[in-house]
Amino acid sequence: MLGIESTAHTLSFGMVDMDGKLSSSFSNLFRPEEGGIHPREAADHHCLKASNLLENIMSTEFFNSNEIEAVAFSQGPGLGPCLRVGASIARTLSKVWNVPLIGVNHCVAHIEIGKNQTGCKDPVLLYVSGGNTQVIASSRNKYRVMGETLDIGIGNMLDKFARTQGIPFPGGPEIEILANRFALNHDINANFINLPYGVQGMDIGFSGMLTAAERKIIDGNSLESICWSLQEHAFASCIEVAERAMAHTGKNELLLGGGVACNSRIREMAEIMCEERGAKAYWPEKRFCIDNGTMIAELGRLLHKVGYSTNLSDSAINPMLRTDHTEIIWD
């Protein structure tokens, strides 16, 4: 199964064999020279990089075009112009190789690759990426969103804060380095800087803590201290909602997914919370937390096994697709 990811900044091709053995993805990340991601510029980037990436994956040992059973692509959610590039490549390849086309839900793919990698069975998922922040649990054939961001995604918040400090996209990894440096060199309890904490019931707001963090820098606090503080507030709010979801559903597995799940501090918080309630925390390898083609291939594989495919006439992209729109028809 070939999987194509193109929802936003990353164009990526990945593969999985029919037993669920994952290959590495071949990816290229669009980094804007300044400002945020302009959808058309990201789509142009994907067009430029596509043939090289495809050549690279096709020249690996894992790849044999005669053995490709289907081509999966991210049908949504995401940026329209970017999604269209991946969908066009997928339609072409499915035609050339005469194999089924499978449109998949990007958010659900983040969940399924985590389950494949970690072996957890019925987790509460904390999906923390650039565009999305959701606490999810499966119930009656759908992944239900139990809580989510009220404004921007957590990664988006970190990236925006980073941008105001001259740190290029993606800002999350650099914020992690600065925060770790702060924790290493300071008494974090004595130097903790309060920011607005955005939990509202099962939902979370991040824009208040972002604005406050920017002000704290203007007030003269060090960048490292604010990076630490921002991570603490943002991650604690997600873990709090995830814990409540576990308590109410009775589930005892927590799975992290999405690009922000690369962060060692959110992993540590997840582990502490789970230990305290006799549950277990899981996360996939970093290369499968960030957007990647392999996760699209993995959900494609699960759908293919139950005979699902997408007709050409139904293969239009859906930028507004949600996690809970997709019915779980696979095992």
Interaction mask 132-171, ligand ATP, x per CB under 6 A: x--------------------x-xx-xx----------xx
Instruction: Tell me how far apart the alpha carbons of residues 107 and 311 are, in angstroms, rounded to a whole number.
Output: 21
Minimum CB–partner distance for residue 252 and Fe ion (Å): 26
Minimum CB–partner distance for residue 63 and ligand ATP (Å): 24
Report if residue 8 touches ligand ATP, rule: CB under 6 A.
yes
Q: Which does 153 bind (CB under 5 to 8 A by kind): Fe ion, ligand ATP, none?
A: ligand ATP
Interaction mask 61-80, ligand ATP, x per CB under 6 A: -----------------x--
Residue 243 or 291 having the CB closest to Fe ion: 291
Minimum CB–partner distance for residue 64 and ligand ATP (Å): 29
Instruction: Tell me how far apart the alpha carbons of residues 269 and 181 are, in angstroms, rounded to a whole number.
Output: 18
Report if residue 290 touches ligand ATP, rule: CB under 6 A.
yes
Residue 214's nearest CA partner among 226, 224, 205, 199 is 226
Residue 54's nearest CA partner among 2, 113, 9 is 2
Residue 84's nearest CA partner among 74, 94, 93 is 74
Q: What residues numbered 96-135 form the site for Fe ion, per CB under 5 A?
A: 129
Question: Which range touches Fe ion (CB under 5 A), out of 171-179, 218-226, 284-292, 300-308?
Answer: 284-292
Instruction: Tell me how far apart the alpha carbons of residues 267 and 255 are, in angstroms, rounded to a whole number.
Output: 10
Question: Which range touches Fe ion (CB under 5 A), out of 89-97, 140-148, 286-294, 298-306?
Answer: 286-294
**Cβ contact 90:99 at 8 Å:** no
Sign of CA dihedral 237, 203, 137, 325: negative
Report if residue 131 touches ligand ATP, rule: CB under 6 A.
yes
- Size of site (CB under 6 A) for ligand ATP: 27
The amino acid present at 100, given as its one-letter code, is P
Q: Which of 112, 159, 176, 291 binds Fe ion (CB under 5 A)?
A: 291
Instruction: Tell me how far apart the alpha carbons of residues 153 and 174 are, in angstroms, rounded to a whole number.
Output: 17
Contacts of residue 298, defined as CB under 8 A and 6 or more positions apart, other chains included, come to 1, 3, 16, 20, 22, 109, 112, 113, 116
Q: Which residues bind ligand ATP (CB under 6 A)?
A: 7-9, 78, 106, 110, 129-132, 153, 155-156, 158-159, 170-173, 176, 258-260, 262-263, 290-291
Q: Which residues bind Fe ion (CB under 5 A)?
A: 129, 291
